[in-house]
Amino acid sequence: MKPYILSLTFILLYSTTISQNLTGAQLLDKAIEYHDPNHNWESFNGELLVTMETPNNLNRDSKIVINLPEDYFYVNAVRDTLSTEYTLDKGNCNIKFCGKSEFDDATAKTHRLSCERANMYKNYYTYLYGLPMKLKDNGTIIHGKVERKTFKGKEYLVLKATYDETVGSDTWYFYFDPETYAMEVYQFFHDEAKNDGEYILLTEEEIINGIKMPKNRAWYTNKENKYLGTDRLK
C-alpha cells in the first residue's frame, strides 16, 4: 500500500504544481479544451432555447439562432402575449413586434425596438454562450497571472480579462475548476473599486454542437449579493 500511496501523493502534488504555474493564456487554452475540445465554436451554427426567470416578472422564452459562418443572428423573445423578433443577416437588420414589421414610434419607444438593441442581443448571446472561446477575440487582454481564489466555499483558478478601449471598459474574472478546467463562475466590474457589477453562477451543462455550455446562469449583484435572475438553456 505504501508505494501506491506515495505515487498518488506525487500525482496530486504534481497536478497542483502545474495548476499553480499556469499562465493566463495556458489556463484559457485548457478551459477551451474542456468546453470545446473539437474547436466547433468558430463554425457554430445552432439553435438555443433560453428561458429567463426574474423575480416578480413573467418568464421570457427566447429562441436564438446563431450562424457564425453566415454572419446570421436571430432571436424571438416572448413574454406573456408579446413577442419581439430581431434578425441580423450580414449586418442587415429586421425587426418584428407581435409578428408585424410595421409599428409606430410610440410602440418602438415603449418596447425599445431598434437595430442597436438587435446588435446588443447578438453580442450578449454570442459572448456569453461562446465563453470561454470568445476570450480569444481580438481586443481581449488576458492577464498573465493566474490566481487561486475561494468563492462560495470552493477554490478556483481565476483568469482576469480586460479589453481594448474600442471593445469595452469592464474588468472580468473567470473562475475555473482546478482539476477539470470547467468554467463555473464569472464576474464583472464597471469600477472594481466600487464593487459594482455582477457575478454569475453556472450550474449543469448542455452539449450543443459538441460544445459544453452552461445550462443555468444565475445572476447576482457584487455589492448587495442580490439575486437578479436565471437564464435556463433548454
Tell me the pLDDT tens digit for each residue of 209-221: 999 999 999 999 9
Q: Where are the domains of the chain?
A: 21-40+132-234, 45-129
| pLDDT confidence of residue 123 | 95
Tell me the pLDDT tens digit for each residue of 94-123: 999 999 999 999 999 999 999 999 999 999
| pLDDT confidence of residue 98 | 96
pLDDT band at 6 (very low <50, low <70, confident <90, very high): very low
Grid coordinates representing 177 are 475548476
Longest pairwise C-alpha distance within the chain:
79
| pLDDT confidence of residue 149 | 97
| pLDDT confidence of residue 52 | 97
pLDDT band at 19 (very low <50, low <70, confident <90, very high): low
3-state SS of the chain is: CHHHHHHHHHHHHHHHHHHHCCEHHHHHHHHHHHHCCCCCHHHCEEEEEEEEECCCCCCEEEEEEEECCCCEEEEEEEECCEEEEEEEECCEEEEEECCECCCCHHHHHHCCCCHHHHHHHHHHHHHHHCCCHHHHCCCEEECCECEEEEECCEEEEEEEEEECCCCCCCEEEEEECCCCCCEEEEEEECCHHHCCCEEEEEEEEEEECCEEEEEEEEEEECCCCCEEEEEEEC
Examine the pLDDT at 170 and tell me if it is beyond 70.
Answer: yes
**Whole-number mean pLDDT of the chain?**
92
pLDDT band at 234 (very low <50, low <70, confident <90, very high): confident
In the beta sheet, which residues pair with residue 199? 187, 220
Tell me the pLDDT tens digit for each residue of 36-82: 999 999 999 999 999 999 999 999 999 999 999 999 999 999 999 99
Tell me the pLDDT tens digit for each residue of 171-194: 999 999 999 999 999 999 999 999
- The stretch 154-162 carries a mean pLDDT of 98
- The stretch 132-157 carries a mean pLDDT of 97
Examine the pLDDT at 205 and tell me if it is beyond 50.
Answer: yes
| pLDDT confidence of residue 199 | 98
| pLDDT confidence of residue 21 | 86
Examine the pLDDT at 11 and tell me if it is beyond 50.
Answer: no
pLDDT band at 14 (very low <50, low <70, confident <90, very high): very low
